[in-house]
Amino acid sequence: MNLASPFSVSVVAITALAFLGLPIGHSMIAGSILYLLLAGLDMGTAAEQFLNGMYSNYIILAVPLFILAAELMNIGSMTERLLRFCDAFVGRFRGGLAHVNIVQSIIFAGMSGSAIADAAGTGKMMQMMMTKDGKYTPSYAAALTAATAVIGPIIPPSIPMVIYALVSDASIGYLFLGGMIPGLLMAASQMAIVAYQANRHDFPVEAPTPLRELPGITWRAFPSLMMPVVLLGGIYSGITTPTEAAAVAAAYALIISVILYRSVSFADFYRSVLASARTTASIGMLIAGALVFNYVVTVENIPDSLKVILTSWDLSPTGFLILVNILLLLLGCVLEGTTILLVIVPVLIPTAQALGIDMVHLGVVIVVNIMLGLVTPPYGLLLFIMTRIAEVPLRDIVRDVLPFLWAMIASLGLITFFPSLVLWLPRLLGYQG
Rounded to 5 degrees, what angle do the CA atoms 130, 136, 137 make? 115
Full DSSP string of 259-289: IIS----HHHHHHHHHHHHHHHHHHHHHHHH
Quote the distance between the C-alpha of residue 294 and its chain's center. 22
Residue range 37-52: mean pLDDT, rounded? 79
Residue 279 CA: distances (Å) to CA of 64, 242, 276, 282: 8, 20, 5, 5
Closest to 315 in 3D by CA, of 361, 345, 354, 372: 354
Write down the pLDDT at residue 215. 86
CA atoms 380, 384, 386, 387: torsion sign: positive
Supply the pLDDT for residue 307: 72
Q: pTM, whole model, 2 decimals? A: 0.81
CA 340, CA 365: separation in Å to the nearest integer?
A: 13
- For 196-224, write each residue's pLDDT tens digit: 998 888 887 777 777 788 888 888 888 87
Which one, of 45, 26, 42, lies nearest residue 295 by Cα? 45
pLDDT at 247: 85
Looking from the CA of 381 toward its CB, the CA atoms found within 13 Å total: 20
Report the range out of 106-110, 243-247, 315-319 with the highest average pLDDT.
315-319
Predicted confidence at residue 57, as pLDDT, reads 67
Q: Count other Cβ atoms within 10 Å, centred on residue 242.
A: 27
